[in-house]
Structures are given as C-alpha cells and as structure tokens.
Structure 1
C-alpha cells in the first residue's frame, strides 16, 4: 500500500490536556508497505511535577525528565514526520488531544490528517479477543512487548499490531470487505480508504477462497457437518481401563504438571459414584485441578459403558477451559475415540436470518455499526455461532441479544443451534450450563440428548441460578425498550405503506402510544408505593409485597392500571392481526419483527398480571427502586423460596448418578446444609472434601485487629471510617497489592469515601467497584497494572476471579459476609424456617456466610508460590461464639489477634 502511517504513543502527567496535563514521553514508528521504516523517541520535561501513580505506572520519575528537552524543541521534527501520514494510536481519543495541545503550545498548526484507532481496528479484525489492551493483544498475536507503559516500546508494539491487523484485513473475502466499506463511514477511524485499497487489490486477484459459504449475501465459514469435537487421527494411548489408568497414574500431559494426591483420589471417587449409580457431593480445594479430576473419569466411564455424560457449569470461563485446556489432555489419556460437544440455550446462538435483516438497516449508531463489522468478520471464524465468543462493547450488548435465536423459534430452521444440537446428539460428553440444564429438566420436549449421568461443577451456585430461572422479573426499562422497538418498526413501516395497511398501522401506533403512557404511570405508582412502604438503604429500596396483603389507594390504582395494560395489549394484538400474515414465512419483514415484539410484550404483560394480582404459595416477591432514580425506574421480582423438592423429584430421582462439585460446599467439614438445600437428604450421597494442595501454614496467615469497633455496636458510617483507617494502615505497611472484600455495596461506598479524604498523598491507587466503571474483569486488569494498588470489591469479587502468580500480598475482609437485612429472599427463607420451629440464624444465615467467607479467603492463595496475609476487620470472628464456624471452615493456618499496629509488625515480618 502506497500509504504512510505514523504510529504514536504517549506517556503523560495525567489524563486531561485541557486540565494542563503534559506529555513526558513520546514514541513514534513510521509504517510504509507493511514495514517499520523510521522511528523516533524522546522524553520531555513537562515543567510540572509527575504524580506518584504515574511514576509507578510508567517508571518515569522527575529525575528522568529533568534534563530532557521541552516538547517545543522537537515540535518541528515531530510535525515533519506526521506530514501527509495517517495518525495511528492505540486509543486515538487519548493521544491525539495531547499532541494537538502540545503542537498549539509550540505555535504549530494542529494535525489535520486521517486517523486510525488500533483499538477499534482490533475490535473488528479480532472480534473474539478477550481484551483489547495493548499488552493483551500483543500476547495473543505473539508480539514481544518488553516495557509496557513506555512510549517507545508501546509505539513499536502498536506498529507491529497495526501491520498484523492490516494483513488479516487483506485476507478477508471480497464480499465481506465490501460490506465493511459500506459500514466504515459510521466508525471513528478513517479506515474506508484502507478498505478501498484492499478491495481494489482483491478485485484484480482470481478468487481462491473455497472455505467460505454464502447465506443471504453474507460470507460464512463453511460448516463442518455438525460433528462434535473429536480426535483428528493422532496417535492414541494403548487401550486401558480406568482402573488400570488409575493404578499406573501416569503424569498428565500438562506444562509443569505436578502430581496431587487429592486430584487422583477425587478421580477415583467420581468414577466409583458413576459406576455404582450414586450421587455425590465433593468439595475440591483451590488448586487441586478439579476440572480434570471429574473430566477424566467421566470420559473413561462414557467410553467404557457407552453412556453419555453431561457436564454442567455456570461460568463461560470454565466452559472455555474445559474445551481449550482440558479437552486436549483427555485426548491423550483416554484410549477410546471420544467426542465432546458444547450445547447451550437457543438465546446463546446467532440467528443468521435476524442478522441478515439487521445488516442493511440504515441510520446506524456507532455501536450498531461496529457490532455489524465484528459479526461479519466473526462469521468467517466461528464454527459454533455461540455469541459468548464475541467481545462487544456494552452499548452493543442489547443489539446483540436481539440477534439471538428466540426461545419460540424453531431451532431446526436456524443454522447454528441446529448444528450444536446435532453435535451433542453424537457426543459422549456434552458440556452445558446450569440454566440450560434446568430448562431441560422442566421442558416437555428436552433439547439435550438423553442422558442418565451428570456432573455439576460450581454446584454451590445451582440453587441460586434455579431460583432466578424459575423466578420472574419485569422492569420499566425492558417494558419501555420493547414498546419503543415496536414503535420504531411501525413508524418505518408506515413510511413505506399506503391504503388499508397504512390505516391499520396508524391505529396500532395510537394503541401503542396509549400503552406507553399507561405503563409509565403504572411504574411511577409502584415506585412511589415501595418507597413509602419501606425506606431506602444506601440509596436503594427493596420492598417485599404479596397481592393479598397490599392495601391503600396507590396500590389499588396500580392494580387497576395493570389490568388496563392487559386490555390495551389485547386490543393492540387484535388491531395488528391483519399485519402478521407473512410473519411465519419470512424472518426479514417488518411483519416478522412486529410479531416477535408482540409476543415479547404479551409475555411481559402475563408476568405483570401474575406478580401484581395472583397468589402463589412458596414464592417471595419484591419491588426494587433507586431512591434518586427516575420516577418510574422500578423492577419487580419473584422467586421460589425452597427448591429442595424440585431437585429431589426432577433431578436426583430421574438420574442414576449426579456428581456435585465446587470449592465451597461444606460448613465445618459437613455437607448437611448443602444437602438439605438441594434436596439430597433422602438419597444418602457420597460426601467428601479434598483439601487444596497448598502449605497454608507457610503461605497464609490470618490477622484479626482487636482495636476496631464491634460492627454491631456502632453506626455503619462509624464502622466504615474505622475500616478505612485500617485499610490505609495495611496498604501502607503490608501490601503492594491489596484486595478488600465487602459484603455490601453500601459499606464499600462509605469506606471508599472515608478513605478518599485521607489517601490523596498516598503512593497507591484506589480502585473501587461501582465507583470506577467497568466489569470485575476490567477493574482487575486495571488493578494489576499498578505495583501498589488497593481494589475494593463486592458481589463477584468474592469468587470466580483469578489473580496471576503472587499478584496479591494482602486480602482484607471488611466484614463477615452475612446477607444484608433487607434481602427479601433471605427474609422469606428465614420466615419459613421459623414457622417450622427452626433457628434461621444457625440454619441459614450462618452457613451462607461461612460459605461466602471461604470463597473470599480462596482469592489469596492460588498457586504453590503465593504468600499473603488475610486481615479480617470484623472482631466477631474471634469474639462471637459462632466465629469458630468460620475459622473451622478454613485450612490450618496461624491466627493472630491484637492491636492493628502490633499485627502490622507481625505481618511485615511474616511476609519477608
């Protein structure tokens, strides 16, 4: 390509050029004809102090820049290199404004050429990348990146990334490139001229790509015939039974594999449970190698007995691990040919017909245009059509979910789900998720192939997921979105129609406007009712309700409005009936879109009527509203209170062997609580704990400060202030990186606010969930960028996050993780236990908190090389009689009590 690209990276004193922040280092790499032809790098004196966290992030301190030139001294040279070139950066919106400000300060004209953002380009070309951070992309593509956050190194790596992305772009088929070119005008980067060059070159070449199929004008990877993942002719181990394999105990083909006795004993127990048709509860400590400990015996059993085994897990991360990391191991240790397939619910797969209709839609938002580009490239790579493979922006998630196969749609008509189902029918091992498993247990026509043996990983989440699955929810936002989408469909259709159809559409439009108006009023009334009935805590109200017990004018008005909405929906369905004749035959028409929207709206109205008017024994219902939210921002929920009978009747009585495993199933070494919750009491399951293979006495120590206030003796604000002071002291003395876990966002927010007033001059970065935006995974990546940082987390941070080797020095548990007092599900369960003559604290609250505590503790030691200190700020751990339940559920380790200052001395010495 006869084009010149200047790839630029900057290090700065902050993130705001308008606030006066300055460049402290600049790196440039010039790319022509697919090669780096010129480089430039220089430090700059910013004529202002460099903040400590910037010094920590970049390793550039004030001594480094003291004798460096001013930017103005190099401005002419920099401008000359950029003349006539594309400006390319990994996040142009950060780098370009800084450069423009410095050029202006130096008296030079601003850069006015085209720009390309390699983040955006990578999102298009690599739609399944786990992360679009420069270091992560470099690792994925095998690019060496020695000095992250140094501008010269980052510019070099960004240039190599850009070259790799251009090469991948040029390999796309012509039809995809032309579709990307039509979308390019909606993107931030000026990549349309790049695409023009690639397309012109492609048009001159003879077509050679026979790996592509076309569907409604969209290029797809040719399907693989619906076959499950299987052996590809590689040499297999000699034929051997599981008993012989276990006796030989060969080293598993994993890098750095080290034999763990607990892992092998767990394999034997699972094989025994499957072979003798017994259910089992198995707790496997962190680091044991749990997934292989069930995957290997399940594979041997499936092959030896010719019985299909289903494996169900909760997280996408573990499903991916089973296929990408563990499945290759199985192929090398299990002698018989083995077929493995993944099957999820229809809503996890792309509907090609919906995408084909979505692709030409005009008036694209940025998120929609970028999503279309990502899907076009992804369809050339994916075998499964599983939407979880994609990494899309938060703004595109709603559009992406709308492109999934609907639950009511015939799976046989849809490419990807039908293929996944065929693969599962031919497989020995089928990997699925808890929600799909629950659907299968209750569906009149199961979608999983027949099976009698089941392994449930992350089993501690099963009841919670089942409660949500069988529960119901409706909220103002989803109601408004569904009616707005319908209004948009009708408005577009009106523009293209005349005569009788136009009259019908106009009547539908009026009905819909009335429905939206009444719906706004209903949700406004419900919010007002909830806030009056139960005052908000930490800005949020959670108010339980039961239709038979609610009274007052506001409630009666809400119920009347509910019935009014039901009638308006029925009237709208009647008006729209003449418009829906073609809906069943063509997925791409406005008729089909309106039909699907009406089905969704009708389902919402059914839920609304049930929640507000019908009694349902054994369920808990509640309203959630934000105190400072919009006047109609409200959510209604219902969940079953007890699912033990369901699991007993639909799962354990129907299957020959169900293996339930997790890192947290036992309380004080006993499984009675989990067995009762899951309805296993009458089945006498095998129960066994396999401890983590770590030397906790040497790797971890627990510290309980005795000079903090007792949480039950002071207001929450006072406790938060004391916790903030303790966190500050611990972060100063003990940890490079410290994770602080909170049982509620309310306490997290109070502690963060208290800490911020004190930590302005501290040499660590504070990252707090809910205060900084982003998912737990994103916050974790930010946390790991800094050598000295404190991360505040709640909910998802207690489990399921993995920190790399020795990333964490200290774990702080701010308060024992008892459920908040306004949790409606826990309230309802407690009432049920009390009515049966039991003690809700000892039968529910305490075991729940102990399991959560174990999950939090498990964040610290993840490998045999880790070492760290755990501080529990809640004195009840040692002062209350029930504290022993928490301590007894931990592995053997040293526990120290005393004043915080004394404990900090001990912890500092211990960590050396």
Structure 2
C-alpha cells in the first residue's frame, strides 16, 4: 500500500481556533509502508497567556514557549511534510481546524488532501473497547506512551496506533471489506480509498479464512452461528466431580493465584459462611467491606457446592461492570483454583442480544444519519469477533443506542428462533453456574415460562439495589420523549414504504399515516395538559416539579379532559394496529425489515398505551404514582411513573419461600452493625437468615481521617442558597490545601448546581479544574475519565457517584460529603413509604429516612479507601453528623477512625500534618 500518511498532534491554549486560541506545540510523524520514516516536533510561542488548566494538562508553561518560534517560522516545513499525504489525527475535528487557522494566519493555503480520524477508524476496527481515548487505546494495544498530552509523544503513539488499526483492517474477510467500502463514503474520514487498496490486495490472495460463516450475506465468526444446537462450550476435558471437597480446600487454605495476593481472614471466613448457607439450605445476609475480595469469597464456595451436589447456582448482579469482572477477572482465577471442570454461562434478557435477521435487513437500508452508518460498520466487524451476540459488548455512540435497541430481539418475540439468545439459553442449561442480572432474575421469578434453567440456590450480589430494580420492574413509566420518538420512527417507516412505490399497499399506508398523525396530535395535547395540571397542583422545586396523584382522588375539568384524551389515544392506537395488520410479517411473504420493525414498534406502542391507561385510570393499592415536569422544559416534556410502595411480601412469597438458599451480599447492608432494616425491606424477618458482617481489611485509623467543620452553617438554619455558598467556600479552601484530586458528593442535583455556580464565581484563577455532573455534558464514566486527566481537579457528583466508582491510590486524595444524604422532601416514593409507616404507628424518620441515609453515607465513604496502600481525608460539611443525636448512627456505621471537629482553618492544618 504505497501511501504517505502524516500523523499530527498538537497542544493549544484552548478549544476554539475561531476564538483566537493558538497552537503551543506540534508533533508530526510520517508513515510509509507501515513504518515511521520522518518526524517533526516543535513548541510555538502563541503570543498569548497559557491558561492554568492547559499548563496542568500539558506541562507546558510560559517559560517553555518564551523563546520558541512562531508558527509562521515553521509553516513552510510543515506544509512540505504534508504535501501529497493523508492528514491523520486522533480526533481530527480538533486538530485540523487549528492547523488550518494557523496556516491561514501565516499566509499559507489550507491543507486540501484526504484526512483520516483514528478515533473513527478505531471505533470501526475495535468496536468493543471501553474507551477511545488515545492513552486507553495505546494501553489496550500494548503501545508505549511515555508523555501523554505532549504533542511529539502523542503523534508518535497515534502513528503506531494507526499502523495497528490498518493491520487489523487488512485481516478482515473480503466480504466484510466490500460492505464497509459501500458505507465508507458516508463516514467523516476518507477511509474508502484505504479500503480500495486493502480490497485490491485481498483479491490477489487465495481465500483461506475458515473461521468465517455467512448468513444472509453477512460474515460471522463460525462458533457464533450453529443451527444444529451443538454444544458451544469446549468438551469437558476434566473430572466432572471434584477430586477435592470444599472442606479439604478450606483446610489446606492454599494461596490464591493472584498477583500480589495476601490472605485475608475475612475473605476465607466469608467463603465458609457462603458454603454453609448453600449446603444447609439457609438464606443469608452478608455485608462484605471494600477490599475484602467479595466476588471470589462467594464464587469459590458456590463452584465447589455446584459440582459436589450437582446443583446449579445462579449469581445475580446489578451492574454490567460486575458481570464483566466475574467473567473476565474472577472466572480465570476460579478455574485455576478448583480441581474440576467448571461450566459457567451468562444469560440476560432477550433485548440484550442482536437479532441477525433485523441486522441483515437493516444493513442495505439507505442510511440517513452518521450514527447509523458508523453503527453498521461496527456491527459488521463485531460479528467476526462475538460468540455471544450480547449487545453490551459494544461501545457505540449515544446516538446509535436507540438504533441498536431496535436491532435487538424484542421481548415479545420468540427467543428460540434467534440464534444468539437460543445459544445463550442452551449454554445456561448446560452450566453449573449461571450469571445474570437483577432485572432478568425478577422477570424469571414472575414469568409463566421461566427463561433461566431450573435452580434452587441463588447468590445476589449488590443486593442493596435489588429492591430499587424490583420497584422499577413492577412499576410503569411513560414519557413524552419516548412516545414522540416511537411515533416518529413509525412515520418514517410508512414514508419509506410510500417512496418505495408499492402501489398495492398505498391506500393502507395512507390510512396508517392519517391515524398516526391523529395519534401524535392527541399525544401532544395529553402531555401538555398533564404538565399544566402538575405545575398547577405543585410548584416546581429547583426547576423540577414532582407531583403525586391517585386516579381515585383526582378531579376537576383539567383532569377529566386528560382522562378523555387518554381513552382517545388508546382507541387511536388500536385503530392504527387494525389498519397496519396487512403490513405485518404474518401477512407478508418475506421477512422484510420494515414489517418486522413495524411489528416491534406497534407492540411497544401497545405497551405504552397499556401503561398510560393503568397510570391514569386504574386504582392499585400500595402503589405510588407521580408526574415529573421541568419548569423551563418544553410544554409537553412530561414523565409519568408508578412504583409499588412495599415489596417485602413479594420477596418473601416469590423468592425466599421458593428457593432453598438465597445469599444476599453487598458492601452496605447493615446500619450500626445490625441488619434489621434490610430484613424488613426484603420480608426476611420470619426466615431467620444467617447475618454476618465482614469488615474491610484496611487499617482505617492509619489510612483515613474524618473532619467536620464547626463553622459551617447548620443545614436547617439557613436557606439552601446560603448553605451552597458556604459549601463552595469550604470546597475551595480544601481543594487549595489538601490533595490533588477531590471528589465532592451531593445528595441532590439542586445543591450541586447551586454550589458549582457559587464556586465558579471564585475559582477562575484557581490552579484546579472543576468538573460538575449535569453542568458539564457527558456520562459519569466520561466525567470520571476527564477528572483523571488532571493532576489537580475537583469533581462534583450526585446519584451514581455515591457508589460503583473505583478511584484507588493517587486517583483520589480527598472526599467531601456536602450534606448527609437524606432523600429530598419531594421524593414521592419516600413520601408514600413514610405515610404507610405512619399509618401503622411507626416513625418514618427512624424506620426509613435515617437507615436509607446511613447506607448511602457508607457507600459514599467507601469511595476513598480502595486498597491497603491508600491514604486520604474525608470532610463532612454537614454539622448534623456531630450536632444531631442521630449523627451517632452515621459514625457508628463507619469503621473505627479518627474524627476531628473544629473550624475549617484548624482542620486544614490538622489534615496537612496528618497527610504528610
């Protein structure tokens, strides 16, 4: 492939060339025939100050560029290197506009050649990697990257990345390359000419790839597609029955084959308790502190039990992250430990697996959007790698998520005829242990035809989230955005059919379009009316209104009008289904995508209408309903919810009575060392389960100190805005004095936003970067990655940041809890639960609000110390921790540690000395 590629990376004073930001460093590497043949690197004087956050990120300061040349001095050399070459960069939308602006400023013509973005190329060639950041890709591919955010080092590693991606492109089968070539014209990069060259090379080779099968014109990895139902796991090559019992293993207590593994007594004690619960058919609640090694502590005894007793054990987790950890990290270790062959399978809901038929029909469709084109490219490559068809393996853009969900097997579809789900189910039926998730477990407990294979022993990890998942599972939700997206998609389907010119169906399509337009119009009216009703009933708080309602108690003209609209919507949806019946797959001669897609969309619309009718008209005891609307949002931006108030009876009747042994484990189950709260939530009081707490194996007295500033105002004594200003001043002082990276946890977005706004007015010249959830765009994972880029940064987080994030070692030095995490007063579920407790003569604060807040507080505290080598400080800005009587419940739920109280300046001095 005789092509010349110039790989470019640059550092700048900011993000906007149009705003006058300038290049401060440029690195270039020329690649020919897969080798770097030429390099260029230079600092440039930008003739303007370099902002502190840029200096921190790049280690390039004013002194570095003081004697450097101007860009114009090197423009001729740079232009000469790029002549006749492809321009290649990692995120080309950033680098190329900057370079063009500098060339223009220097009086040179802009670069006019082809360009390739290695981010886009990596998304296609590596569709399953977690992150497409340059450093993460380099680590994944084993490329050395010495000085991130230095242009010469970044250009060098981008060049090596580009060569590696080209090599992977060359390995794709000819069929896939040709399909990518057809799509490539719609991509941002000029990849099509690369593909032309690769295809030309490939056509000269003799076809030798026997690992590929073809289904409906798509190349697949062979093991991923079998019609004969053959076993997909390798044949057992070991003893099915264990050659050693768990008792013998435990007595021998061998060191686990983990790098740097140290025996932890708590981990081995937990193993014994798990085995005891399984083998004596008892339920158990086990709290396992951070760092104990909880996953292996239940995985090992469950494996021995499953093979000794020939009894399948199911493990249910809340997060995909923990599922992946069990399979990728813990399972290989487990297989080294146990002296027998172990079969482990993963089974999720049908909607998690790709439908090959839907994709085969989607692929040739004209692609209207960039997201659709990129998704098709990613899926073509992924199907050559995946053995499961599990869509969670993919890393796709947020815009492609909706498209991807439409390509999954529908809940209403027969999973048996879909290859990937049928294979996953078959693997589960042959397995000793099955790993699933809480939502699928709940579906299985309530389904008339269970999809999980028969089991009597269950381990529930992240058990503190089970009730939340169940509440959402048994509840209803409908929102305007989902309704509008669904109906717009159906309108698009009808339009495509009309344009395709199928004359015999045009009358049907015209009637369907008319019905759909009526449905959209009435839907707009209903959601607009519900928003007005909610805002009239309950004023917005922090820009958001949450209004509880009960169909039996509502009245007035506005409510009656909403109910009439609800019935009209249901009738219109039924009429649309009747009109569209001749277009559905059962009435069609071939399984075309539009008909299959339309059937799925109509089924979803039916579900939405059923949910709407239940929410607005049906009286359900023990259920809380509410409307959410944003005060400044669109006139119809409304969400309706319902959830059961209490699930204790469900868990008792459908789970604990039915199973011989259920083990619930988590890092946060006990309040003040007692399990009474969780026992009542799960309906376990009458089952007398084994309850045990195993503390984390850390030396908390030496590793962490907790500080409570006495000069903070009491939350209850000042308006929230005043408290936010005081919190901002405290965060600023702590960030200046302690730690390079600081995480600040808030119980509500309202307080987070107020504090961020107050801090913004003071921190313009501060040497740290402020990253705030909901203020900056991006998922929690993206915000976390940004946080870790900077040596001195403050991250404001709420909700998901209280748990599930791992920041070991130098990743986090200080944790600030802005306020004790009591649920906000307008939380409709907590309101309903409180009313229920009060009606039974109980105290909602001590029976509900306080235990919930303590468990949340423990989760937040657990973000700081993640390994035995970590050291850090926790500041709790809420004085109620020491001033209120119930503050003792929070402190008693933490491990033994030093607690200091005093003015903030006094505490900062103590913290400085303690950390050093």
TM-score, shorter chain, exceeding 0.5 = yes
Q: CA deviation at 1:47?
A: 1.2
Q: Find the counterpart in structure 1 of residue 738 from structure 2.
A: 734
2:494 to 486, 490, 494: 490
- Within a 5 Å distance, the mapping from 1:57-96 to structure 2 comes to 57-96=57-96
8 Å Cα contact 1:186/1:364 also seen in 2:
no
8 Å Cα contact 1:282/1:661 also seen in 2:
yes
8 Å Cα contact 1:9/1:151 also seen in 2:
yes
1:45-79: per-residue Cα shift (whole Å, max 9, x none)? 11111111111111111111111111111110000
Is 1:18 the counterpart of 2:18 in the alignment? Answer: yes
CA distance in 2, matches of 1:269, 1:330: 18
CA distance in 1, matches of 2:120, 2:662: 45
2:883 to 879, 882, 891: 879
Q: Find the counterpart in structure 2 of residue 784 from structure 1.
A: 788
Is 1:251 the counterpart of 2:255 in the alignment? Answer: yes
8 Å Cα contact 2:544/2:629 also seen in 1:
yes
1:634 to 638, 656, 673: 638
1:840-873: per-residue Cα shift (whole Å, max 9, x none)? 0000000000000000000000001100000000
Q: CA deviation at 1:595?
A: 2.2
CA distance in 2, matches of 1:784, 1:498: 56
- Within a 5 Å distance, the mapping from 1:58-207 to structure 2 comes to 58-207=58-207
Is 1:357 the counterpart of 2:341 in the alignment? Answer: no
CA distance in 2, matches of 1:237, 1:159: 52
8 Å Cα contact 1:582/1:592 also seen in 2:
no
Secondary structure of the 2:646 match is: coil
8 Å Cα contact 1:181/1:192 also seen in 2:
yes
1:429-456: per-residue Cα shift (whole Å, max 9, x none)? 0000000000000000000000000000
CA distance in 2, matches of 1:234, 1:578: 55
CA distance in 2, matches of 1:729, 1:157: 39
Q: Find the counterpart in structure 1 of residue 46 from structure 2.
A: 46
Q: CA 1:179–1:906 in 2, change beyond 3 Å: closer, same or farther?
A: same
- Within a 5 Å distance, the mapping from 1:373-772 to structure 2 comes to 373-497=377-501, 499-580=503-584, 582=586, 586-772=590-776
Q: CA 1:566–1:203 in 2, change beyond 3 Å: closer, same or farther?
A: same
CA distance in 1, matches of 2:529, 2:608: 18
- Within a 5 Å distance, the mapping from 1:214-363 to structure 2 comes to 214-223=214-223, 227=231, 239-363=243-367
Is 1:830 the counterpart of 2:834 in the alignment? Answer: yes
8 Å Cα contact 1:354/1:587 also seen in 2:
no
1:228-259: per-residue Cα shift (whole Å, max 9, x none)? 65688589999211001101110101111111
Q: CA 1:498–1:292 in 2, change beyond 3 Å: closer, same or farther?
A: closer
CA distance in 2, matches of 1:276, 1:806: 44
Secondary structure of the 2:747 match is: coil
Secondary structure of the 1:806 match is: helix
Q: Find the counterpart in structure 2 of residue 818 from structure 1.
A: 822
CA distance in 2, matches of 1:429, 1:61: 56
1:822-844: per-residue Cα shift (whole Å, max 9, x none)? 10000000000000000000000
CA distance in 1, matches of 2:330, 2:169: 32
CA distance in 1, matches of 2:704, 2:57: 28
CA distance in 2, matches of 1:594, 1:249: 59
Secondary structure of the 1:548 match is: coil
Q: CA deviation at 1:329?
A: 1.0
Q: CA 1:581–1:866 in 2, change beyond 3 Å: closer, same or farther?
A: closer
Q: CA deviation at 1:43?
A: 0.9
Q: CA deviation at 1:596?
A: 2.1
CA distance in 2, matches of 1:390, 1:584: 32
Task: Report the aligned-residue RMSD.
Answer: 1.4
CA distance in 2, matches of 1:864, 1:335: 31
Q: CA deviation at 1:497?
A: 4.2
1:721-742: per-residue Cα shift (whole Å, max 9, x none)? 0000000000001121000000
Secondary structure of the 2:209 match is: coil
Secondary structure of the 2:40 match is: strand
Secondary structure of the 1:549 match is: coil
1:851 to 837, 840, 855: 855
Q: CA deviation at 1:804?
A: 3.4
CA distance in 1, matches of 2:795, 2:569: 46
8 Å Cα contact 2:284/2:662 also seen in 1:
yes
CA distance in 2, matches of 1:219, 1:620: 49
1:153-191: per-residue Cα shift (whole Å, max 9, x none)? 000000000000000000000111011111111110000
1:769-788: per-residue Cα shift (whole Å, max 9, x none)? 00111111111111011110
The gaps in structure 1 that reach 5 residues or longer are none
8 Å Cα contact 1:236/1:331 also seen in 2:
no
The gaps in structure 2 that reach 5 residues or longer are none
Q: CA 1:586–1:454 in 2, change beyond 3 Å: closer, same or farther?
A: farther
CA distance in 1, matches of 2:815, 2:826: 27
Pairs aligned (count): 912
Secondary structure of the 2:97 match is: helix
Q: CA deviation at 1:579?
A: 2.8
